[in-house]
Structure 1
Amino acid sequence: MPELQLPEGVNVHSAQSPETLAETLADHVAECLRLRLAEAPAATLVVSGGSTPLPFFRALRKKTLEWGRVLIALADERWVPETDAASNAALVKKELLQAEAAQARFVLFRYSDEEAVEALPKLEAAAAELTDPVDVLVLGMGNDGHTASLFPDAPELNRAMDRRGQQRVMVMTPLSQAHRRVTLTLPVLMQARFKVLHLKGQDKIATLARAAEAPADWSAMPIRAFLQAGLHVYWSP
Protein backbone atom coordinates (compact mmCIF):
# COMPACT_ATOMS: atom_id res chain seq x y z
CA MET A 1 0.00 0.00 0.00
CA PRO A 2 1.36 3.47 -0.87
CA GLU A 3 2.52 5.72 1.95
CA LEU A 4 -0.19 8.08 3.17
CA GLN A 5 0.13 11.15 5.36
CA LEU A 6 -3.08 10.66 7.29
CA PRO A 7 -4.01 12.42 10.55
CA GLU A 8 -2.75 10.78 13.73
CA GLY A 9 -5.10 8.11 15.00
CA VAL A 10 -6.42 7.05 11.59
CA ASN A 11 -5.81 3.30 11.34
CA VAL A 12 -5.04 1.68 7.97
CA HIS A 13 -5.67 -1.99 7.17
CA SER A 14 -4.72 -3.45 3.79
CA ALA A 15 -4.75 -6.80 2.00
CA GLN A 16 -3.65 -8.09 -1.38
CA SER A 17 -7.17 -8.95 -2.56
CA PRO A 18 -10.67 -7.57 -2.01
CA GLU A 19 -11.79 -10.99 -0.73
CA THR A 20 -9.08 -11.22 1.92
CA LEU A 21 -9.77 -7.67 3.04
CA ALA A 22 -13.51 -8.37 3.14
CA GLU A 23 -13.00 -11.32 5.50
CA THR A 24 -10.89 -9.21 7.84
CA LEU A 25 -13.40 -6.38 7.80
CA ALA A 26 -16.33 -8.76 8.31
CA ASP A 27 -14.58 -10.29 11.32
CA HIS A 28 -14.01 -6.86 12.88
CA VAL A 29 -17.56 -5.67 12.20
CA ALA A 30 -19.09 -8.87 13.55
CA GLU A 31 -17.00 -8.62 16.71
CA CYS A 32 -18.06 -5.00 17.25
CA LEU A 33 -21.70 -6.00 16.88
CA ARG A 34 -21.30 -8.96 19.25
CA LEU A 35 -19.69 -6.77 21.91
CA ARG A 36 -22.50 -4.24 21.63
CA LEU A 37 -25.20 -6.91 21.77
CA ALA A 38 -23.63 -8.22 24.98
CA GLU A 39 -24.59 -4.99 26.70
CA ALA A 40 -27.53 -3.58 24.71
CA PRO A 41 -30.81 -4.94 23.35
CA ALA A 42 -29.94 -4.02 19.75
CA ALA A 43 -27.05 -2.91 17.57
CA THR A 44 -27.05 -0.84 14.40
CA LEU A 45 -24.94 -1.39 11.31
CA VAL A 46 -24.94 1.32 8.64
CA VAL A 47 -23.52 0.29 5.26
CA SER A 48 -22.95 1.83 1.85
CA GLY A 49 -23.85 0.69 -1.65
CA GLY A 50 -21.79 0.23 -4.80
CA SER A 51 -19.57 -2.61 -5.95
CA THR A 52 -16.76 -2.27 -3.39
CA PRO A 53 -18.69 -3.70 -0.41
CA LEU A 54 -19.99 -6.79 -2.23
CA PRO A 55 -17.26 -9.18 -0.93
CA PHE A 56 -17.73 -7.69 2.54
CA PHE A 57 -21.50 -8.29 2.44
CA ARG A 58 -20.97 -11.89 1.34
CA ALA A 59 -18.44 -12.49 4.12
CA LEU A 60 -20.45 -10.76 6.83
CA ARG A 61 -23.69 -12.63 6.16
CA LYS A 62 -21.90 -15.88 7.08
CA LYS A 63 -20.83 -14.66 10.51
CA THR A 64 -22.45 -16.03 13.64
CA LEU A 65 -24.45 -13.23 15.22
CA GLU A 66 -27.78 -12.70 16.93
CA TRP A 67 -28.98 -11.23 13.67
CA GLY A 68 -32.52 -10.77 14.93
CA ARG A 69 -31.23 -8.00 17.22
CA VAL A 70 -29.30 -6.17 14.49
CA LEU A 71 -30.69 -3.15 12.65
CA ILE A 72 -29.21 -2.54 9.21
CA ALA A 73 -29.51 0.76 7.36
CA LEU A 74 -27.94 2.48 4.39
CA ALA A 75 -25.84 5.59 4.79
CA ASP A 76 -27.57 6.93 1.69
CA GLU A 77 -29.77 5.95 -1.20
CA ARG A 78 -30.80 7.08 -4.66
CA TRP A 79 -34.51 7.92 -4.63
CA VAL A 80 -35.47 5.15 -7.04
CA PRO A 81 -37.66 2.05 -6.67
CA GLU A 82 -35.97 -1.21 -5.75
CA THR A 83 -36.66 -2.50 -9.25
CA ASP A 84 -34.17 0.09 -10.54
CA ALA A 85 -30.60 -1.14 -11.06
CA ALA A 86 -29.37 1.92 -9.16
CA SER A 87 -31.12 0.90 -5.92
CA ASN A 88 -28.76 0.34 -3.01
CA ALA A 89 -31.58 -1.18 -0.97
CA ALA A 90 -32.04 -3.94 -3.55
CA LEU A 91 -28.29 -4.58 -3.44
CA VAL A 92 -28.26 -4.93 0.36
CA LYS A 93 -31.23 -7.28 0.31
CA LYS A 94 -29.65 -9.46 -2.38
CA GLU A 95 -26.08 -9.56 -1.06
CA LEU A 96 -26.25 -9.04 2.72
CA LEU A 97 -29.71 -9.96 3.99
CA GLN A 98 -29.35 -13.63 3.15
CA ALA A 99 -29.10 -16.87 5.18
CA GLU A 100 -28.98 -16.11 8.94
CA ALA A 101 -28.49 -12.41 8.22
CA ALA A 102 -32.00 -12.30 6.75
CA GLN A 103 -33.21 -12.09 10.37
CA ALA A 104 -31.78 -8.58 10.69
CA ARG A 105 -34.22 -5.67 10.42
CA PHE A 106 -33.64 -3.40 7.45
CA VAL A 107 -34.76 0.15 8.20
CA LEU A 108 -34.67 3.56 6.52
CA PHE A 109 -34.79 4.86 2.96
CA ARG A 110 -37.74 2.81 1.79
CA TYR A 111 -38.78 4.25 -1.55
CA SER A 112 -42.35 5.45 -1.99
CA ASP A 113 -44.19 7.16 -4.82
CA GLU A 114 -43.88 10.43 -2.92
CA GLU A 115 -41.25 12.97 -3.82
CA ALA A 116 -38.20 12.52 -1.61
CA VAL A 117 -38.82 15.82 0.20
CA GLU A 118 -42.41 14.80 0.97
CA ALA A 119 -41.18 11.49 2.37
CA LEU A 120 -38.72 13.16 4.77
CA PRO A 121 -40.95 12.98 7.88
CA LYS A 122 -41.25 9.20 7.43
CA LEU A 123 -37.52 8.88 6.83
CA GLU A 124 -36.76 10.92 9.95
CA ALA A 125 -39.04 8.64 11.95
CA ALA A 126 -37.25 5.58 10.57
CA ALA A 127 -33.86 7.10 11.38
CA ALA A 128 -35.01 7.60 14.97
CA GLU A 129 -35.24 3.80 15.26
CA LEU A 130 -31.47 3.47 14.86
CA THR A 131 -29.42 3.18 18.01
CA ASP A 132 -27.97 6.50 19.12
CA PRO A 133 -25.13 6.51 18.37
CA VAL A 134 -24.90 4.11 15.45
CA ASP A 135 -22.68 1.18 16.45
CA VAL A 136 -20.87 0.40 13.20
CA LEU A 137 -20.60 2.59 10.09
CA VAL A 138 -19.02 1.42 6.83
CA LEU A 139 -18.55 4.24 4.33
CA GLY A 140 -17.28 4.34 0.78
CA MET A 141 -15.78 7.24 -1.16
CA GLY A 142 -16.04 8.58 -4.69
CA ASN A 143 -13.15 10.00 -6.67
CA ASP A 144 -14.64 13.47 -6.15
CA GLY A 145 -14.21 13.02 -2.40
CA HIS A 146 -17.90 12.46 -1.60
CA THR A 147 -19.06 9.92 0.94
CA ALA A 148 -22.62 8.78 1.63
CA SER A 149 -24.52 11.35 -0.47
CA LEU A 150 -22.46 14.25 0.84
CA PHE A 151 -21.43 15.53 -2.59
CA PRO A 152 -19.27 18.64 -3.01
CA ASP A 153 -21.62 19.99 -5.70
CA ALA A 154 -24.84 19.49 -3.71
CA PRO A 155 -26.55 22.79 -2.84
CA GLU A 156 -27.64 21.24 0.47
CA LEU A 157 -24.11 20.28 1.56
CA ASN A 158 -23.61 22.94 4.23
CA ARG A 159 -26.82 21.98 6.03
CA ALA A 160 -26.08 18.26 5.78
CA MET A 161 -22.59 18.86 7.20
CA ASP A 162 -23.74 21.06 10.10
CA ARG A 163 -22.44 19.32 13.22
CA ARG A 164 -25.13 21.05 15.31
CA GLY A 165 -27.91 20.26 12.87
CA GLN A 166 -31.03 18.49 14.14
CA GLN A 167 -31.96 16.64 10.95
CA ARG A 168 -30.93 13.00 10.73
CA VAL A 169 -31.86 12.70 7.06
CA MET A 170 -31.60 15.11 4.15
CA VAL A 171 -32.48 15.14 0.47
CA MET A 172 -29.48 15.95 -1.72
CA THR A 173 -29.58 17.18 -5.30
CA PRO A 174 -25.96 17.11 -6.56
CA LEU A 175 -25.66 18.52 -10.06
CA SER A 176 -23.31 15.70 -11.08
CA GLN A 177 -25.81 12.94 -10.31
CA ALA A 178 -28.74 11.63 -12.31
CA HIS A 179 -30.94 10.92 -9.28
CA ARG A 180 -32.06 12.72 -6.18
CA ARG A 181 -30.40 11.26 -3.11
CA VAL A 182 -31.33 10.82 0.53
CA THR A 183 -28.55 10.62 3.10
CA LEU A 184 -27.85 10.41 6.78
CA THR A 185 -26.38 13.71 7.90
CA LEU A 186 -22.90 14.34 9.29
CA PRO A 187 -23.97 14.43 12.98
CA VAL A 188 -25.44 10.91 12.69
CA LEU A 189 -22.50 9.51 10.73
CA MET A 190 -19.73 11.13 12.76
CA GLN A 191 -21.02 9.84 16.10
CA ALA A 192 -20.77 6.17 15.10
CA ARG A 193 -18.83 4.10 17.61
CA PHE A 194 -16.79 2.24 14.99
CA LYS A 195 -16.18 4.07 11.72
CA VAL A 196 -14.79 2.39 8.61
CA LEU A 197 -13.81 3.75 5.20
CA HIS A 198 -13.75 0.80 2.78
CA LEU A 199 -11.81 1.43 -0.44
CA LYS A 200 -10.63 -0.50 -3.48
CA GLY A 201 -8.12 0.47 -6.14
CA GLN A 202 -5.19 2.80 -6.68
CA ASP A 203 -7.51 5.60 -7.77
CA LYS A 204 -9.14 5.64 -4.34
CA ILE A 205 -5.78 5.80 -2.60
CA ALA A 206 -4.85 8.76 -4.80
CA THR A 207 -8.13 10.45 -3.85
CA LEU A 208 -7.54 9.76 -0.16
CA ALA A 209 -4.01 11.18 -0.39
CA ARG A 210 -5.42 14.33 -2.01
CA ALA A 211 -8.04 14.63 0.73
CA ALA A 212 -5.38 14.29 3.43
CA GLU A 213 -3.48 17.28 2.04
CA ALA A 214 -6.10 19.73 3.34
CA PRO A 215 -8.25 17.90 5.90
CA ALA A 216 -10.05 21.05 7.04
CA ASP A 217 -11.48 21.89 3.60
CA TRP A 218 -14.46 19.53 3.67
CA SER A 219 -16.52 21.65 1.28
CA ALA A 220 -14.25 20.59 -1.60
CA MET A 221 -14.02 16.95 -0.46
CA PRO A 222 -16.59 16.01 2.21
CA ILE A 223 -14.68 12.84 3.14
CA ARG A 224 -12.18 15.13 4.86
CA ALA A 225 -14.60 15.61 7.75
CA PHE A 226 -14.10 11.92 8.63
CA LEU A 227 -10.29 11.92 8.53
CA GLN A 228 -9.94 12.00 12.29
CA ALA A 229 -8.59 9.77 15.03
CA GLY A 230 -10.66 6.62 15.35
CA LEU A 231 -11.33 6.12 11.64
CA HIS A 232 -10.34 2.73 10.21
CA VAL A 233 -9.39 2.68 6.52
CA TYR A 234 -9.62 -0.73 4.83
CA TRP A 235 -8.02 -0.87 1.39
CA SER A 236 -7.16 -3.45 -1.26
CA PRO A 237 -5.85 -3.04 -4.82
Structure 2
Amino acid sequence: MKESNFPSVDALNKGFAEQIAALLRDGIAARGKASLIVSGGRTPQGMFAQLSEQTLDWSKVVISLADERWVDATDDASNEKMVREHLLKNKAAEARFVGLKNAAADALQGVAGCVSEFKQIPAPFDVVILGMGEDGHTASLFPCSAQIKQGLDLNYPEPYLAVQPTTAPHWRMSLSLAALLDSRKLFLHLTGEGKKAVLNQALTGTDEFEMPIRAVLQRADVELVWAP
Protein backbone atom coordinates (compact mmCIF):
# COMPACT_ATOMS: atom_id res chain seq x y z
CA MET A 1 0.00 0.00 0.00
CA LYS A 2 1.37 3.35 -1.03
CA GLU A 3 1.20 6.05 1.65
CA SER A 4 0.94 9.81 1.20
CA ASN A 5 1.38 11.31 4.64
CA PHE A 6 0.86 15.03 5.17
CA PRO A 7 2.01 17.14 8.13
CA SER A 8 -1.44 18.64 8.68
CA VAL A 9 -5.04 18.31 7.58
CA ASP A 10 -4.80 21.65 5.73
CA ALA A 11 -1.79 20.41 3.78
CA LEU A 12 -3.60 17.16 2.99
CA ASN A 13 -6.72 18.97 1.78
CA LYS A 14 -4.73 21.08 -0.65
CA GLY A 15 -2.36 18.39 -1.90
CA PHE A 16 -5.02 15.69 -2.21
CA ALA A 17 -7.39 18.02 -4.09
CA GLU A 18 -4.64 18.81 -6.58
CA GLN A 19 -3.89 15.09 -7.05
CA ILE A 20 -7.54 14.22 -7.67
CA ALA A 21 -7.93 17.10 -10.12
CA ALA A 22 -4.89 15.89 -12.07
CA LEU A 23 -6.35 12.38 -12.32
CA LEU A 24 -9.69 13.74 -13.52
CA ARG A 25 -7.92 15.86 -16.15
CA ASP A 26 -6.06 12.75 -17.30
CA GLY A 27 -9.33 10.83 -17.57
CA ILE A 28 -10.97 13.58 -19.62
CA ALA A 29 -7.94 13.80 -21.90
CA ALA A 30 -7.87 10.04 -22.46
CA ARG A 31 -11.57 9.21 -22.65
CA GLY A 32 -13.49 12.48 -22.95
CA LYS A 33 -15.04 12.17 -19.50
CA ALA A 34 -14.14 11.13 -15.96
CA SER A 35 -15.85 9.70 -12.90
CA LEU A 36 -15.29 10.43 -9.22
CA ILE A 37 -16.79 8.33 -6.41
CA VAL A 38 -16.69 10.01 -3.00
CA SER A 39 -17.54 9.11 0.57
CA GLY A 40 -19.45 11.05 3.20
CA GLY A 41 -18.69 12.12 6.73
CA ARG A 42 -16.71 15.06 8.06
CA THR A 43 -13.24 13.96 6.96
CA PRO A 44 -13.49 14.96 3.27
CA GLN A 45 -15.30 18.27 3.70
CA GLY A 46 -12.23 20.51 3.73
CA MET A 47 -10.70 18.65 0.82
CA PHE A 48 -13.95 18.96 -1.13
CA ALA A 49 -13.84 22.73 -0.67
CA GLN A 50 -10.32 22.78 -2.12
CA LEU A 51 -11.30 20.43 -4.95
CA SER A 52 -14.25 22.62 -5.91
CA GLU A 53 -11.80 25.40 -6.81
CA GLN A 54 -9.60 23.28 -9.09
CA THR A 55 -9.50 24.22 -12.75
CA LEU A 56 -10.63 21.49 -15.12
CA ASP A 57 -13.58 20.81 -17.43
CA TRP A 58 -16.02 19.88 -14.69
CA SER A 59 -18.85 19.52 -17.22
CA LYS A 60 -17.16 16.27 -18.27
CA VAL A 61 -16.97 14.88 -14.72
CA VAL A 62 -19.62 12.61 -13.19
CA ILE A 63 -19.61 12.51 -9.38
CA SER A 64 -21.40 9.89 -7.30
CA LEU A 65 -21.29 8.32 -3.85
CA ALA A 66 -19.78 5.15 -2.44
CA ASP A 67 -22.81 4.92 -0.16
CA GLU A 68 -25.79 6.83 1.11
CA ARG A 69 -28.17 6.74 4.06
CA TRP A 70 -31.77 6.20 3.00
CA VAL A 71 -32.88 9.67 4.08
CA ASP A 72 -34.08 12.71 2.16
CA ALA A 73 -31.38 14.77 0.47
CA THR A 74 -32.33 17.66 2.79
CA ASP A 75 -31.59 15.59 5.90
CA ASP A 76 -28.39 16.42 7.81
CA ALA A 77 -27.51 12.70 7.69
CA SER A 78 -27.52 12.74 3.87
CA ASN A 79 -24.19 12.33 2.11
CA GLU A 80 -25.71 13.99 -0.93
CA LYS A 81 -26.49 17.07 1.14
CA MET A 82 -22.89 17.24 2.36
CA VAL A 83 -21.46 16.80 -1.13
CA ARG A 84 -23.73 19.48 -2.56
CA GLU A 85 -22.72 21.91 0.19
CA HIS A 86 -18.97 21.27 0.11
CA LEU A 87 -18.05 19.99 -3.37
CA LEU A 88 -20.71 20.80 -5.97
CA LYS A 89 -20.01 24.53 -5.88
CA ASN A 90 -17.55 27.05 -7.32
CA LYS A 91 -15.95 25.53 -10.44
CA ALA A 92 -17.20 22.04 -9.58
CA ALA A 93 -20.81 23.23 -9.81
CA GLU A 94 -20.59 22.24 -13.49
CA ALA A 95 -20.10 18.55 -12.65
CA ARG A 96 -22.91 16.04 -13.08
CA PHE A 97 -24.04 14.40 -9.86
CA VAL A 98 -25.68 10.98 -9.66
CA GLY A 99 -27.29 10.54 -6.25
CA LEU A 100 -28.26 7.25 -4.65
CA LYS A 101 -31.42 8.19 -2.72
CA ASN A 102 -34.45 7.84 -4.96
CA ALA A 103 -38.23 7.91 -4.53
CA ALA A 104 -38.53 4.28 -3.45
CA ALA A 105 -40.16 3.78 -0.07
CA ASP A 106 -37.16 1.93 1.32
CA ALA A 107 -33.61 1.02 0.36
CA LEU A 108 -34.48 -2.54 -0.63
CA GLN A 109 -36.98 -1.25 -3.16
CA GLY A 110 -34.54 1.47 -4.19
CA VAL A 111 -31.81 -0.85 -5.47
CA ALA A 112 -33.38 -1.24 -8.92
CA GLY A 113 -33.51 2.51 -9.43
CA CYS A 114 -29.88 2.91 -8.39
CA VAL A 115 -28.81 0.12 -10.74
CA SER A 116 -30.66 1.84 -13.57
CA GLU A 117 -28.87 5.13 -12.88
CA PHE A 118 -25.48 3.41 -12.59
CA LYS A 119 -25.03 3.34 -16.36
CA GLN A 120 -24.62 7.13 -16.27
CA ILE A 121 -21.35 6.79 -14.34
CA PRO A 122 -18.28 6.09 -16.51
CA ALA A 123 -16.65 2.83 -15.44
CA PRO A 124 -14.06 1.80 -14.53
CA PHE A 125 -14.20 4.76 -12.14
CA ASP A 126 -11.32 7.18 -12.56
CA VAL A 127 -11.09 7.94 -8.83
CA VAL A 128 -12.67 6.31 -5.78
CA ILE A 129 -12.17 7.91 -2.35
CA LEU A 130 -13.02 5.64 0.55
CA GLY A 131 -13.19 6.33 4.24
CA MET A 132 -13.16 3.85 7.10
CA GLY A 133 -15.10 3.54 10.34
CA GLU A 134 -13.78 2.60 13.75
CA ASP A 135 -15.19 -0.90 13.15
CA GLY A 136 -13.34 -1.28 9.88
CA HIS A 137 -16.34 -0.71 7.62
CA THR A 138 -15.94 1.13 4.35
CA ALA A 139 -18.68 2.53 2.13
CA SER A 140 -21.66 0.93 3.90
CA LEU A 141 -20.13 -2.53 4.01
CA PHE A 142 -20.63 -2.99 7.75
CA PRO A 143 -19.28 -6.05 9.57
CA CYS A 144 -22.41 -6.05 11.74
CA SER A 145 -24.88 -6.20 8.85
CA ALA A 146 -26.73 -9.27 7.61
CA GLN A 147 -25.82 -8.19 4.07
CA ILE A 148 -22.03 -8.21 4.49
CA LYS A 149 -21.53 -11.55 2.71
CA GLN A 150 -23.41 -10.22 -0.32
CA GLY A 151 -21.46 -6.98 -0.25
CA LEU A 152 -18.08 -8.70 -0.24
CA ASP A 153 -19.05 -11.38 -2.76
CA LEU A 154 -17.16 -10.57 -5.97
CA ASN A 155 -19.85 -12.46 -7.89
CA TYR A 156 -22.70 -10.37 -6.46
CA PRO A 157 -24.57 -9.43 -9.65
CA GLU A 158 -25.46 -5.80 -8.97
CA PRO A 159 -23.28 -2.73 -8.33
CA TYR A 160 -25.46 -1.71 -5.34
CA LEU A 161 -27.01 -3.39 -2.34
CA ALA A 162 -29.24 -2.24 0.48
CA VAL A 163 -27.60 -2.57 3.89
CA GLN A 164 -28.96 -2.30 7.42
CA PRO A 165 -26.15 -1.87 9.96
CA THR A 166 -27.00 -2.89 13.52
CA THR A 167 -24.53 -0.45 15.08
CA ALA A 168 -25.55 2.69 13.16
CA PRO A 169 -28.86 4.30 12.22
CA HIS A 170 -30.63 4.20 8.86
CA TRP A 171 -30.76 1.70 6.05
CA ARG A 172 -28.04 2.41 3.49
CA MET A 173 -27.36 2.04 -0.21
CA SER A 174 -23.80 0.91 -0.87
CA LEU A 175 -21.61 0.07 -3.79
CA SER A 176 -20.57 -3.56 -3.64
CA LEU A 177 -16.94 -4.57 -3.21
CA ALA A 178 -16.79 -5.67 -6.85
CA ALA A 179 -18.05 -2.27 -8.01
CA LEU A 180 -15.60 -0.38 -5.78
CA LEU A 181 -12.68 -2.41 -7.10
CA ASP A 182 -13.59 -1.49 -10.69
CA SER A 183 -11.57 1.70 -10.47
CA ARG A 184 -8.40 3.10 -11.97
CA LYS A 185 -7.30 4.78 -8.73
CA LEU A 186 -8.50 3.93 -5.25
CA PHE A 187 -7.69 6.11 -2.24
CA LEU A 188 -8.25 5.56 1.48
CA HIS A 189 -8.60 9.00 3.07
CA LEU A 190 -8.05 9.08 6.84
CA THR A 191 -7.13 11.68 9.45
CA GLY A 192 -6.08 11.31 13.06
CA GLU A 193 -4.06 8.81 15.06
CA GLY A 194 -7.19 6.87 16.01
CA LYS A 195 -8.02 5.96 12.41
CA LYS A 196 -4.38 5.11 11.74
CA ALA A 197 -4.52 2.66 14.65
CA VAL A 198 -7.67 1.04 13.21
CA LEU A 199 -5.94 0.74 9.85
CA ASN A 200 -2.90 -0.88 11.45
CA GLN A 201 -5.24 -3.38 13.12
CA ALA A 202 -6.82 -4.13 9.75
CA LEU A 203 -3.42 -4.68 8.18
CA THR A 204 -2.41 -7.25 10.82
CA GLY A 205 -5.35 -9.58 10.14
CA THR A 206 -7.08 -11.29 7.23
CA ASP A 207 -10.74 -11.76 8.29
CA GLU A 208 -12.64 -9.57 5.84
CA PHE A 209 -15.97 -10.07 7.59
CA GLU A 210 -14.47 -8.79 10.85
CA MET A 211 -13.10 -5.64 9.16
CA PRO A 212 -14.43 -5.20 5.61
CA ILE A 213 -11.77 -2.64 4.70
CA ARG A 214 -9.44 -5.67 4.54
CA ALA A 215 -11.34 -6.88 1.47
CA VAL A 216 -10.29 -3.72 -0.35
CA LEU A 217 -6.73 -3.64 0.96
CA GLN A 218 -6.12 -7.27 0.06
CA ARG A 219 -7.45 -6.98 -3.48
CA ALA A 220 -6.58 -3.50 -4.72
CA ASP A 221 -3.63 -1.18 -5.12
CA VAL A 222 -4.80 1.34 -2.53
CA GLU A 223 -3.11 4.65 -1.76
CA LEU A 224 -3.46 5.85 1.83
CA VAL A 225 -3.83 9.60 2.22
CA TRP A 226 -3.38 10.55 5.88
CA ALA A 227 -2.68 13.46 8.20
CA PRO A 228 -2.54 13.51 12.01
Shorter-chain TM-score above 0.5: yes
Q: Is 2:203 the counterpart of 1:222?
A: no
- 1:17 aligned onto 2:13: no
- Which of 40, 60, 71 is the aligned partner of 2:51? 60
The offset of 1:184, in angstroms, is 0.6
Query: How big is the shift at 1:111?
Result: 3.6
For the residues of structure 2 that align with 1:64 and 1:93, how far apart are their CA atoms? 18
What is the match of residue 45 of structure 1?
A: 36
> Identity of paired residues, percent?
38
Query: Normalising to structure 1: TM-score of the pair?
Result: 0.93
- Cα distance between partner residues in 2 of 1:223 and 1:113: 29
Aligned length: 227
- Residue identity matched to 1:217: D
Q: Is the contact made by 2:13 and 2:46 (CA closer than 8 Å) also made in structure 1?
A: yes
| Equivalent in the alignment of 1:173 | 164
Residue deviations 1:3-52 (CA, integer Å, cap 9, x gap): xxxxxxx1111112111011111111111111110011211100000000
Q: Gaps spanning 5+ residues in structure 1: where?
A: 1-9
Give the root-mean-square deviation of aligned CA atoms: 1.1
Runs of 4+ in 1 over 3 A off after TM superposition: none
Q: Give structure 2 stretches of 5+ with no counterpart.
A: none
Task: Give 1:103's match in structure 2, choosing from 88, 94, 116.
Answer: 94
Name the counterpart of 1:234: 225
1:94-145 superposed Cα distances (whole Å, 9 cap, x missing partner): 0000011011000030342521111211110111221121110000000100
Which one-letter code corresponds to 2:128 in the other structure? Answer: L
TM-score by length of 2: 0.97
Alignment partner of 1:184 is 2:175: yes
- In structure 2, the partner of 1:3 is none
Q: Would the aligned equivalents of 1:81 and 1:112 in 2 still touch at CA under 8 Å?
A: no
Aligned AA for 1:220? E
C-alpha distance in 1, partners of 2:117/2:38? 16
* Contact residue 160 and residue 174 of structure 2 kept, 8 A: yes
**Conserved 8 A contact 2:102-2:114:** no
